[in-house]
Amino acid sequence: MKHRSLTAAFALGLLLAVASTASAARNPFGDAPHSGDLINGRSCGAPEPTAMEMDAVGTALRRYIEEGRASATGQIKVAWHVISNGTTGNVAQSAIDAQIAYMNQRYAGTGFSFVLASVDRTSNSKYFSMTPGSRNETNCKNALAIDPLHRFNVYSAAPGQGLLGWATFPWSYAESSKMHGVVIHYGSLPGGSIANYNEGGTLAHEAGHYLGLYHTFQGGCTAPGDQVDDTPYEATSTTGCPSGKDTCPATGLDPIHNYMDYSYDACYTEFTPMQISRMQSSVGTYRPNLPNAAVAQAKPEPVEAARMTGAVAFRNIYPNPFTSRTNVQLVMPRAGQVMVKVYNVAGALVETLADGEYAAGEHSLAFSAKQLAPGTYFVRATAAGKSVARAVVLIK
């Protein structure tokens, strides 16, 4: 995911430094100012997807829809982790309640609702200023995460690197991984200290990533963009709420009111119907245990359903998710050279399953992942200059 970086510079309103309990009651965002809170522009640290990842995820989501599987919807339970540095960041319960109310208002019509299941409070300066991919993030989530299989873990802190927040994608890790969740700046909650970004829009944006959406400007003016057909192409992220912004030659003005752009919170008003469909498909495919509504699990594909795309197609990968070993079943409509490789979410090669001549027909390849970390991997098959990819999820 492209790093979220708006050009408009702004400063946080400094909080009054008063040590008394009465002051904390007046200020729901902590007692004292924090030097790291001065953010020069808004930024999102969600990971940049590789082309291979986007291809595999897109294929999996299309398959979910084509199979006619039930939409994944329901109530999502939120485990909120308030992180402070001892002097600031200890947001009041009223601010958290206001944020949950904002989420339910803005996600109305998506099929998802949010309920606050728990709140805990931790004073730790390293966790408070954590950054995406850092040891501090890993330590924080390993220490604080609650039931990530069934809970949406939200961490309010003051992230480093000038970030307002970041999120994991549904396919980033195994479903039960403690790394799943969203980190947001405590000053972005409703009534917070970050001008133009203090109505609650940051969590709505990051939750969109968490449920499977890319930025609306993903890929710029080049197909497939954000892989959502009803969001117009957008070359650049949006600053403020500029009426008539149009940065791509394709039909449609830039989607400045979309929660997955970088507009001011006051500008946010919409998810599109196909974004909603993608969120539901993403949860059904990668996070079926997250909402309280049951979701049908994937079944092995019959031979006649195999996609005969180009010179090679996947018949099935089963089981998926898997614990240590899965079978990759291919269909070759004609004899030829085939390469089948497995990559991690960073795009690094982890194993080559096949590289040679194969006869026409069906072939089964074993993928043993005993030495690999849990998470999402991408199996890519290439023949006659064409490739297909599938996502597989390793759980341990």
Q: Are residues 370 and 271 in the same domain?
A: no
- The pLDDT, as a whole number, for residue 218 is 94
- The pLDDT, as a whole number, for residue 249 is 94
Residues of the chain with pLDDT under 50: 1-27, 31-40, 294-310
Domain termination residue (choose one: 253, 277, 298): 298
Q: Are residues 328 and 237 in the same domain?
A: no
Q: Are residues 252 and 374 in the same domain?
A: no
Q: Are residues 315 and 216 in the same domain?
A: no
CATH number at residue 193: 3.40.390.10
Q: What percent of the chain is predicted at pLDDT more than 90?
A: 58
Q: Which residues are catalytic?
A: 206
Q: Return the HEC string of 94-152.
A: HHHHHHHHHHHHHCCCCCEEEEEEEEEEEECHHHHCCCCCCHHHHHHHHHHCCCCCCEE
Q: Are residues 10 and 79 in the same domain?
A: yes
Q: Are residues 278 and 363 in the same domain?
A: no
Q: Are residues 314 and 275 in the same domain?
A: no
Threshold 0.95, pTM exceeds: no
Q: Are residues 386 and 263 in the same domain?
A: no
Interhelix angle 93-106/201-210, rounded to 10 degrees, is 60
Domain termination residue (choose one: 274, 298, 322): 298
Q: By residue range, what is the domain housing residue 148?
A: 1-298
How many of the other CB atoms lie within 10 Å of CB of 126? 14
Q: Are residues 238 and 163 in the same domain?
A: yes
CATH number at residue 372: 2.60.40.1930
Torsion, Cα 195 200 205 209, to 10 degrees, reads 130
Q: Are residues 265 and 282 in the same domain?
A: yes
- The pLDDT, as a whole number, for residue 28 is 53
Q: Are residues 310 and 289 in the same domain?
A: no
